[in-house]
Each structure stands twice: as structure tokens, then as C-alpha cells.
Structure 1
Amino acid sequence: MAASLTTMANATIAPALPGLERLFAGDPNAALLTRLLVPAPSLSVALIAPLAGIAADRIGRRRLLLFGVILFVLSGCAGLVLPDLPTIFASRLVLGVAVALIMTAQTALIGDYFTGDDRNALTGLQISARNLGGLVFILTAGWVATISPRLPFAIYGLAAAFLPLMWLVIVDPPRLAQASGAKLAGDRGDYHRWLLPLALLVLLQGTTNMIFFIMPTQLSFFLDAQGYDSAIMTGSALGVLMLSGGGCALLYPRIQRAVGYAGIFALGYGAMALGFLMLLFASTTPAIFAAVAAIGAGYALVSPSFVALALNLAPGQKRGLAGGILTASIFIGQFCSPLLSTPVIAGFGYANLFAGTAGLLAIMTVTAALTGGAGWLRRR
């Protein structure tokens, strides 16, 4: 349930963006602000998540999770009544604080509750829950956005139904006691042991999310330019993306055991590259759906690996911090996505954006494949 909220946070209002731009056409910054409403929570998450991680390690995961869900409902639904785009944008920033608390707590809890293959399986289920939850929320948003561009904000209220079960079920594990005389995580030696690899992982995850977030921030405008009913078509296309991702994420543990982490990255980035290449030439609805399905499948394959690898790297006493940094990287990438892609579209068009993105993903695919091949040769 907590995982499903992260997709709801950003992408739920994507089908309503053209309608919101028309509703607030009198605002001179309407074009930019409407595009920033989707990734706006990402800015807050990027700033707050590391601090939330420290808090999770010190005061416990349960409190952060429950408070985060309450704040999520209040700030998410605020767009129903707020009078203008700047105040709606501000409410989206508060929503990001809620998401930072939720995601940091849930990532740390996965590390606390599960180990080994069970942890890998749970990270796959986490991504599947994000996608399948997103499917329901975005399809609903696409439908209600045809009635009013404000109505998708009401969907955030559904999170209130999750609170009673979370209150009953989520518990903090016993505090991890440190062995007497053991070196504290965070000493200089430990920085080299886990923080430096984690930093590289964070950079890769931020780049991955920046690429993927072209979908919810730009797809509606691309479809609008193609002559589609953008609200319905965007909701349907993003629904296909989420359904594809949810299904592939369920297969993640089996695929990861078969090909390893490098193989997972090669397959995932290859699928995303293929999807953007298909989108470049897509001229029919089925072709667009096939393209976004490939992108969703590829993203769902690589995403669980970031969580699993980070939790494997971080010592138990620092899982909250690792989860916070990892969460921040996701949303930094998401926030930067429209800031980089919008000027590219304005200067070179959607075709060049899709072609350049496919090329970058192809390079990432080859790099992952070569890394996996080198590792296999060393083992032989």
C-alpha cells in the first residue's frame, strides 16, 4: 500500500495537465507551472529524504510512515480547492515531504523485515505495487479529468483508507544493537566500503528516473500535438505502462537469479531503448501502447535492483539513511526531467528527444552487458 502511493504522488494528475493549463490560462507562467506540477513533489523529496532517513534510524520507521500518509492525504487533496497555480504548486511541494517520509520508512522496513532472496522478491513486489496501483489511479484520473481538471486531486484521499491497516500491522523491529567495540558505520573505512558504491548507485538511479519521467511529464503534450484526446489517451497509455511494469516486476526475482544484476540492467535498459525508438516512429494507438509498454517493462526490471543493492550495501544501523539517499536520487531525477526535456522539445522537437534518449539507453545497455560479461569471465 505504501509503495502504491509513490506513483500516485506524481503521475496521477498527468492526464489533467492540458486541462489545468487551459483553466489557468490567465497565469503568464501557466505553461511551465503545469509541467512542474507532476515533478514538484520530487524537489521536496530530494531535500527531505536524507533527513527523513536519519530520523527513521533514530525514532523508528512506523511513526514516519503513519505521519507521512496523513500528510499525503491533506496535501494531495488540496488542489481541489486552492485558487491558483502557485498555491497548487506549493501544495505539491508539501506532498513531496509526505512522500519522503513514506518512501524512506518503507525502504528501511524492507531491509529490516527481509534478507537474501526474500528481500529481492519483496523489492520486485514493491515495484509491482507501484505500477499496478498507478494503473488504477491514472486510469481513474484520466476518466475524471474529462469532467474537471481538478478532480484527479481527489484521488489522493484514497490513501486515508490505508491508514487503519498500516496502524495495526506495521511495527518497528527491535533496535539493532552494536557489538561492543565494533567500528561504527560511517567511520572512514566504512565510507569506502559502502558509501562510495552507494553514491555510484544513486547517480545511476537518478539518471534512470530522469529518463523514465519523460513519460508522465511530456507524454500528454506529445499526444495532444498528435491530435489525440490527451486526457483519455494519456490515462490509457500510462495505464499500459503501469500494467506492463507491474507484470514484469513480479518476474524480477526469477529473472535476477537467472542473469544476475548486470543482466537485469542490460535487459531493462535495452527494453527502454527499444520503447523510445518505437515511440519515435509510432503513428497509431497500438504502436504507442507497445512503445510505452516496453518502457514500463524495462524500468520495472531495473528499479528493484537499486533497492536490493542499496540494502545489501548499507549496514543495518544505516538502512534509513541509505533509503533516504536512494529516495532522494529517484526524485532528483524526476524533478530534473522536465527541466531538461522541455528545452530539447522546444528547440529540436519530440523526435530528437526520443532518438537521443534511445541512444543514451543503448549505451547504458551495452555498458551493463559488458560489465556482466567481464564478471562472468572472472568467475570462469
Structure 2
Amino acid sequence: MTSVLKNNDCQPKLNYLLALVCMLGPALVALVPMAVAPALPAMALYFQDVDSSDLFAQMVMTTPAIMIIVFAPISGILSERYGVRLNLLTGLFLYIVFGFSGYFISDATLLIISRLLLGLAGGAVLTNSLILIGSSFSGHHRELLLGLATSLASIFAALALIFGGNMVDTLGWRSSFMLYLIAAPVMIIAWFCVKSTPPIAKAKTAKKSNANSYSHKALIPLWPFYAVLILFTIGMFSPSIQGPFSLEMKGIHSASEKGLILSLTSICAVFSSALFGYFRRYFSSYTILLIDLFTMASGFILLSIATDTYSLGLACAIIGIGAGLSEPSIASILLDRTKIHIHGLAMGLVVSALNAGQFINPLIMNFFKSMSNIDSAFMMLGLIFSLVLFIAYIRRPTPNNRPDPLSKLA
């Protein structure tokens, strides 16, 4: 895949529009589950004739992630073959259609199907947004966009909870599906600023000496980065999924106090991810990865032993710093260590890893909790991050061997 848009190939205004599309893609995907979150109780009441209506409402929120995990790598391969423009515009169009369709659907089965198809579209949108960042920008601009995209996604998720709740109270549960129409102006902007790219299928006729440049086998040695990203995602979702049970056990019963403490994770994640581009001026992506691992390890260890509101809040804040840096740091490393021609699958696997960690979290944490309690589970998670930090540190790149990454573990 050739560069979609080089920084010196267009007017500055067009560059800014492309950057906006790149940042809004992840933000739109953050809306996939969060847009309907405030509507779940009302939705469960509407579908009360369905067995376990509460569970059904929760499935409406979570089922898109299944298709994101499965389809994101496929979308990456399709983008390599047919170009980013076609796949991104198709993903945005399907996002609007299947997202907003929930406003009209009254059948439970059709609603679940529409949500699965929305996940398919979301996987395409997020994957191609990351591909665009990697192929259209370089240096500080790329690092800045990776951080801002993650930060904007967190902001969209928070705003969806606030404004979505007001919409549900005023207009009913169906109104939450109107939020997906935000993708319409993004699609219009993308239509004008994302350029067509030649397919990579021509690689099949490339000389044998150049064939390895197009081979997806180059991703195999990089599997440790994807494994670490799954671990990061398990960690970043632990405060919101497991945190309330820990705070309840420690005598904090007020829902507002719990929310305030746990929200520090998201708040700090917004700021740390937004500052990723600034940090990259002074530190390598690998160094930031080590800092990331350290903050997650220390945050969870502190969370496991903390007993008062201030120390619990501090622990969540430290975890939030790591949560915000995890996606941009690993995405940056993978973009640096792969040929542009295989960025599609490389970024598709990033999207799958992010969503896989969310699904794995309850399974892993419940297993750890079965050994003792939730605090012991947090301590175990902190020790795992510490072990990975130790291995990553001893495998760190040396000044004379910059390309030596975590991939040495493979």
C-alpha cells in the first residue's frame, strides 16, 4: 500500500481534515457500546417479554464486540487488497445504517443482528483509521494522532453516558441510537479527503526477492506485543468491571463515591493518551511501553492494599495513566516494525486484541478471585504486569541494536 496522503502532497487544510477523520474513527467505535449504555434499563423494560430481559439488554450493548474481534483483521486484509478509501467509506456507511436502524427495530432478534452488523462496521472503521494514521503521517504527527485518537475515544464514551442519559430521559430509549448519525458528517469529510490507493494484489507478481515485503509472516515475531496489548486491555477494564466489588468490600457503599473514585481511571487515561505525542519527543515508544507497564503494575498493587478513599483514588489514577498510553505506544511500535504494505492486518489485529482483552477480563479475574478475593486478584494482576515489565526491560533495545524489541520473546 502506498502512502494514502503524504504531508507534502496536499494543502494544510486537507491534512487537518484527514487528521480529523483519523481521530474520529476510534471515537465512533467507542460509541458502539457506550451510546446504548444509558438506555439499558428502559430497553430491558420494553423487552420484558423476552427471557432474562436484563441480560438481553446487556447483550445489545456487548455483542458488537464479537464482530469487531472477528472482522477487524479481515478488514485489514481487505484494505490491503482494495484500498483504505473503499473500506473506510463502506464501514462508515454500514455504521450509520446498522447503528441508526435500532431506532426503528422492535424485534429482539433483529436488534441483535443489527448490533452484530454494527460491530462488523465498527471493526472496519477503527482498523482503517489506524491504517490511515500509519500510512498518511510520520514522525511526531503520527505519534500525536495516535494519542489524540485514543483520548478522543475516551471523551466520546464519557459524553455518550452524559448526553445519552439525558436523551433517554427526554425522548425514550430509542433516541440513543440517534447518536450513531454522528458518523454521517465523518463519512462526508472522508469522501473528499481520503484518496484512493492502489491494491496490494500486484505484490503477487513482484519479484521473489521482494516477496517478503508483502508477506504477513512478518507479523509472527511480533506476537508478544499483541499479547501485551491484551493484558493491558484486561487491566484497563478491571477498575470499571471489578472495581465496584472491591470498593464495596472495603466499606465504600455510596454509588456516587464509587463512581468518583473509579472515574479517575478514565480521566487520567484521557490526559495521558493526549500527551503521548509530547512524550514521544523525548522517549522512544519502547521506553513509554516500559513506563506503561510500570504504572499498571504499581497501580494494581496499590489498589489491592489500599483501604481509604485517597489511596484508592490514587491507584485508579495511576492505572489510568497506563491505560491511556497502552494503545498508542504499542500501535506506534507495530507501525515502526512492519512494512506499510501489511499495516492493514497489523492494525486489524490491534483492534482484535483491544476487544479480546475486554471479553477475557471477567474470565481471568473471576479465576483469580476464586483463589481468595478481589484484592488478591488485583495483586495477582499487578504481579503479572511486574513480570512482563522485567522481561521487557531485559529485552529492551540497545543503542547499537534499535530494532531489538519484545519480539525477541517469540
Q: For the superposition of Structure 1 and Structure 2, which TM-score range results when normalised by the shorter chain?
A: 0.7 to 0.9
Q: Contact between 2:246 and 2:375, CA under 8 Å: does it hold in 1?
A: no
Q: Which residue of 2 aligns with 1:6?
A: 29
Q: Which amino acid aligns with 1:299?
A: A
Matched, 1:262 2:274: no
Q: Contact between 1:30 and 1:85, CA under 8 Å: does it hold in 2?
A: no
The correspondence for 1:204, drawn from 228, 237, 246, is 228
Cα gap change, 1:183 to 1:377, in 2 (>3 Å):
closer
Structure 2 distance, partners of 1:73, 1:59, is: 22
Cα gap change, 1:185 to 1:124, in 2 (>3 Å):
farther
Q: Contact between 1:245 and 1:300, CA under 8 Å: does it hold in 2?
A: yes
Q: Contact between 1:9 and 1:99, CA under 8 Å: does it hold in 2?
A: yes
Moved more, 24-33 or 197-206: 24-33
Counting only pairs closer than 5 Å after superposition, residues 108-187 of structure 1 correspond to structure 2 as 108-141=131-164, 143-144=166-167, 151-173=175-197, 181=207, 183-186=209-212
Structure 2 distance, partners of 1:35, 1:346, is: 24
Is there any run of 5+ residues in structure 2 with no aligned partner, and where?
1-23, 403-410
Q: Which residue of 1 aligns with 2:271?
A: 247
Structure 2 distance, partners of 1:165, 1:23, is: 37
Structure 2 distance, partners of 1:238, 1:152, is: 24
Q: Which residue of 2 aligns with 1:315?
A: 339
Q: Which amino acid aligns with 1:351?
A: D
Counting only pairs closer than 5 Å after superposition, residues 350-369 of structure 1 correspond to structure 2 as 350-369=374-393
CA RMSD of the aligned region, Å? 3.8
> What is the CA distance between 1:101 and its match in structure 2?
0.8
Q: Contact between 2:167 and 2:176, CA under 8 Å: does it hold in 1?
A: yes
Q: Contact between 2:297 and 2:383, CA under 8 Å: does it hold in 1?
A: yes
Structure 2 distance, partners of 1:149, 1:290, is: 36
Is there any run of 5+ residues in structure 1 with no aligned partner, and where?
none
Where 1:213 maps in the other structure, the secondary structure is helix
Q: Contact between 1:131 and 1:242, CA under 8 Å: does it hold in 2?
A: yes
Q: Which amino acid aligns with 2:73?
A: P
Matched, 1:327 2:344: no
Where 1:258 maps in the other structure, the secondary structure is coil
Structure 2 distance, partners of 1:87, 1:359, is: 44
Matched, 1:43 2:66: yes
Q: Which residue of 1 aligns with 2:83?
A: 60
Structure 2 distance, partners of 1:7, 1:294, is: 22
Cα gap change, 1:243 to 1:195, in 2 (>3 Å):
same
> What is the CA distance between 1:45 and its match in structure 2?
1.4
Q: Which residue of 2 aligns with 1:106?
A: 129
Q: Which amino acid aligns with 1:276?
A: F
Q: Contact between 2:82 and 2:198, CA under 8 Å: does it hold in 1?
A: no
Q: Which amino acid aligns with 1:297?
A: I
Q: Contact between 2:213 and 2:341, CA under 8 Å: does it hold in 1?
A: no
Per the normalisation by structure 1, the TM-score is: 0.80
Q: Contact between 1:12 and 1:134, CA under 8 Å: does it hold in 2?
A: yes
- Structure with the greater alpha carbon radius of gyration: 2
Q: Contact between 2:285 and 2:330, CA under 8 Å: does it hold in 1?
A: no
Moved more, 240-249 or 169-178: 169-178
Q: How many residues matched?
A: 373
Cα gap change, 1:136 to 1:143, in 2 (>3 Å):
same
Structure 2 distance, partners of 1:333, 1:327, is: 10
> What is the CA distance between 1:65 and its match in structure 2?
1.4
Cα gap change, 1:294 to 1:58, in 2 (>3 Å):
same
> What is the CA distance between 1:375 and its match in structure 2?
3.3
> What is the CA distance between 1:269 and its match in structure 2?
2.3
> What is the CA distance between 1:248 and its match in structure 2?
1.3
> What is the CA distance between 1:288 and its match in structure 2?
5.7
> What is the CA distance between 1:323 and its match in structure 2?
2.0
Q: Which residue of 2 aligns with 1:70?
A: 93
Structure 2 distance, partners of 1:290, 1:19, is: 35
Structure 2 distance, partners of 1:375, 1:324, is: 29
Q: Contact between 1:262 and 1:371, CA under 8 Å: does it hold in 2?
A: no
Per the normalisation by structure 2, the TM-score is: 0.74
Q: Contact between 1:14 and 1:217, CA under 8 Å: does it hold in 2?
A: no
